[in-house]
Amino acid sequence: MDSKVPEHESSLTGAPFRVGIGYDIHRLASGRRLVLGGIEIPFDQGLLGHSDGDSLAHAITDALLGAAGLGDIGAHFSDADPRWKDADSLGFLKAASQMLADRGWNVANIDATILAEQPKMMPHIPAMKSALSRATGLDQSQLNIKAKTNEKLDAIGRGEAIAAQAIVLIYPK
């Protein structure tokens, strides 16, 4: 067994890597800034949330925490905690990245999908990758952000919410 595998993991499976998955959704509402992937996007509505409502940053944070067996974003940054009111969600992502580093994990890659009927996300993805790279300490080549509509179906398709999915792979330092 690879001696670099953290003991708490090697005793479980011996696998030289772990994966994590994340999902998040926030309602769109008037009078809010639209913050997604750590950047502000010009739009006439924004995501409701105790924090800035950044569903992409939240999904990635959950994927990282999940991969390391560290629970979820709510366990670490409760939406009942006044410290996180209107918080910049990149702070959650940065803290989660540090938690993994402190426990001996490297991140191989992150892949994510934004689900939004509007606005068009593609023009903003380079800026999102730059912001997410700074928060995670990863190279942009390790980050992939995709975006798609929900084909006008369900709440996302009606423009009532924006969701995101993320998956990560981590391996021992």
CA distance 77 to 90: 12
Write down the least CB distance from residue 54 to Mg ion, Å: 7
User: Whose CB is nearest to Mg ion?
Assistant: 58
Which window, 21-29, 61-69, 110-118, 142-150, contacts Mg ion (CB under 5 A)? 21-29
Write down the least CB distance from residue 57 to Mg ion, Å: 8
Cβ contacts of residue 157 below 8 Å, gap of 6+? 117, 149, 150, 151
Binding Mg ion (rule: CB under 5 A), the pick from 5, 20, 22, 24 is 24
Enter the tokens of residue 7. Answer: 């003991």
Q: Given the complex with Mg ion, which of 5 and 114 has the nearer CB atom?
A: 114
C-beta separation of 108 from 170 below 8 A: yes
CA distance 62 to 15: 21
Q: Given the complex with Mg ion, which of 9 and 24 has the nearer CB atom?
A: 24
Interface of this chain with Mg ion, residues 34 to 73, rule: CB under 5 A: 58
